[in-house]
Amino acid sequence: MAFFEVKNVYKNFGANRVLKGIDLELDEGQVLAIIGSSGSGKTTLLRCINFLEIPDKAEIYLGGDNIFSVDNLDKVNEALQNADEGEKQNSTADIVKDDLSDAKLDNSKESGVDMVETADKKTKPQKIKPVKISKEKKKQIAEQRLKFGMVFQSFNLFPHYSVLKNLTLAARLKYDKGLKPLDKYFSKSVKMARKQAFKEIDERAEALLQRVGLGEKLKAYPCELSGGQQQRVAIARALILGPEILCFDEPTSALDPELTREVLKVIKDLKKDGHTMIVVTHEMEFARKVADKVIFMADGVIEEQGAPEEVFGNPQSAKTKAFLQESEKSIDED
C-alpha cells in the first residue's frame, strides 16, 4: 500500500460541484505536482487533503492507517436536487406570470383572481445547508491536520511578531494545551517543564531557519524581509511541528523569478532530505524536473497522471495537450 492514499474525493460548494471523484497515491519521500488551469479544483483538492476543507465524500490513508473517512455525498446531492427542483418551480411560476401579463384575460373577476393568485404563488428556491459534523469528528480532524504542514501562496505571517515567534507560536500553543489539565495541580513542575520545552522549541526553530538560509533573521519582522524570505519563513513554520506531509499551494505565485528560484531551491533541498510533498504549482519546469509524479486536473477530475516524462513528453488527453501548449506559449511570450 502507498504511504499516502486518497480515494473517491467529492466536494461541492453550494450548487458548484468542484471535485468529482479524485483518487491518488504517493510513496514516502516522493514529490507530487498538481497542475491545471484556474478553477480546475487543484487548491480545493489540496485543502481537502489536509482538512482545511471537509470533503463531502473521501477516504484518506496515511502510513497504512485510515485517518479520515466520510460519506455525506447522498445528503449533499439530495440537498442539491431539492434546490434544483425549487429553482425549476420558481422559474415555471415566472413563466406563467409573464404569460398572464401578455394574454388577453377574461374580464371575469373570478377567473382573473384565480389565475393571478396561481401565478404569484412562487415556490422559493431551496437553500443548500452544509452537512453538520459532530464535535467529536471535528476534534479528530483537528488532530489529523497536524500531520500536514501547509504553505500558502500568501505568506500568512503575523506582522507584529518576530520571525522566531512566527515559527514557534503554534508549537508553543500545542505544548501548552497538553499541560493545562496539570497546571493547577503541579504548577511548579509544569512551569519548569514549559520553560525547558519552550527552550527546545526555540532551538528547533533556529535550526530550521538556518536550514532555509535565514539564520541571521530570527529577530527580524516580516516587513523587513523580501517576499522570498517570507515564504522561506513560512516553509520553516510548516516544518516545526514535524508533519508527515508538506503541502504547498502555489508557493511562488507572488514572487518574481529570482525569488521564485530561492523558494524552489528550498523545496528541492527538502526533497533530498526525504520529505513527502504535494505541490500545487504553475511552475511547469519545477513539475517537470523535481516532481516524481504529476497530476493534471480539469473540471474537478484528474484528466491525466503519471511520471513527469509521461505527462509532459507524451500526454494522452487532449485537454492536457492544450494546457501544456498554452503554458509553453506563455513562457515564450515572457
Report how far residue 136's alpha carbon sits from residue 248's, in angstroms, rounded to the nearest whole number. 28
Cα separation, 203 vs 130, in Å, equals 43
pTM of the model: 0.81
pLDDT band at 187 (very low <50, low <70, confident <90, very high): low
State the pLDDT at residue 192. Answer: 81
| Strand, coil or helix: 207 | helix
Parallel, antiparallel, or unpaired for β 293-298 and 31-36?
A: parallel
Alpha helices in the chain (DSSP H): 42-49, 73-102, 109-120, 135-145, 163-183, 187-211, 227-239, 257-272, 284-289, 308-313, 318-333
d(CA 67, CA 135): 17
Domain boundaries, the chain: 4-72+132-160+221-333, 75-120, 161-220
Q: Which CATH architecture does the domain made up of 4-72+132-160+221-333 adopt? A: 3-Layer(aba) Sandwich (3.40)
CA distance linking residue 225 with residue 326, whole number of Å: 34
Which of 127-131, 182-186, 329-333 comes out lowest in average pLDDT?
182-186
| pLDDT of 133 | 75
pLDDT digits (tens, 9 = 90+) for 111-142: 444 444 444 445 455 555 666 778 888 888 88
